[in-house]
């Protein structure tokens, strides 16, 4: 049996440019809200390896976020894809402070690390995200058992949490963890 965890394609938002901007935590909140609705940059097509593996899989899951839905369409697998909010990205927390201003990348690191220690204002608590990841890993395991293989077209943080739950359940990661857009990790179990 096999499970593929793939990260969605590159969004329209230029994250590299945004990472350098100085923003307050309140402004970060607006950026986070906008990013949750952003479509993909359709000028950047998925690599052949991602298309090939997606087309080999008979049963594919994705979240209800626009960038995941668009990714499924760009891979050409909408006919065998199933949307489930269980797989959506865990929202990053933030505050409504107007100061200080730091670059977006610095705030993202601060708030994600704080999230790991339980800070969740305006975001999803980590304990809830871990529970969703456990449920998501079970959904994927059942689908792999039924179909021989399955794939999730998901998101960075949630894919990491799901990967951890899969390995705890005895799935072996056969490739390195995939952090970049369109990259994928392969898990196998006898």
How many Å apart are CA 111 and CA 95, to the nearest integer? 9
- pLDDT for 38 equals 87
- pLDDT for 169 equals 96
Domain with residue 110: its CATH number is 3.40.50.1240
pLDDT tens series, the chain, 190 aa: 999 999 999 988 777 777 778 999 999 999 888 888 888 988 889 999 999 999 999 999 999 999 999 999 999 999 999 999 999 999 999 999 999 999 988 999 999 999 999 999 999 999 999 999 999 999 999 999 999 999 999 999 999 999 999 999 999 999 888 889 999 999 999 8
Count up the domains in the chain and report the number: 1
- pLDDT for 49 equals 96
How many Å apart are CA 21 and CA 131, to the nearest integer? 34
Which structural domain, as residue segments, surrounds residue 62? 2-188
Q: What is the DSSP string of the chain?
A: -EEEEEE---BSS-HHHHHHSEE-HHHHHHHHHHHTT--B-TTSPPPHHHHHHHHH-S-EEE-SSHHHHHHHHHHT-GGGEEE-GGGSPPPPP--------EEHHHHHHHHHHHHHTT--TTS--HHHHHHHHHHHHHHHHHHHHHHSEEEEEE-HHHHHHHHHHHHHTTPEE-S----STT-EEEEE--
- pLDDT for 46 equals 96
| Helix/strand/coil for 100 | coil
């Amino acid at each position: 049996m096999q499970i593929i965890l793939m990260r969605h394609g590159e969004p329209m938002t230029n994250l590299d440019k945004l990472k350098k901007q100085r923003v307050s935590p309140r402004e970060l909140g607006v950026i986070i809200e906008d990013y949750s609705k952003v479509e993909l940059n359709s000028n950047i097509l998925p690599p052949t390896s991602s298309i090939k593996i997606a087309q080999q899989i008979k049963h594919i899951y994705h979240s209800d976020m626009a960038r995941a839905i668009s990714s499924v369409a760009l891979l050409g697998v909408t006919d065998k894809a199933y949307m489930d909010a269980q797989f959506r990205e865990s929202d990053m927390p933030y505050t409504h402070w107007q100061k200080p201003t730091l670059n977006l990348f610095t705030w993202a690191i601060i708030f994600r690390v704080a999230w790991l220690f339980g800070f969740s204002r305006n975001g999803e608590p980590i304990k809830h995200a871990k529970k969703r990841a456990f449920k998501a890993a079970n959904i994927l395991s059942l689908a792999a058992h039924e179909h021989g293989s399955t794939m999730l077209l998901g998101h960075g943080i949630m894919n990491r949490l799901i990967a951890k739950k899969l390995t705890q359940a005895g799935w072996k990661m056969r490739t390195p963890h995939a952090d970049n857009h369109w990259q994928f990790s392969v898990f196998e179990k006898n």
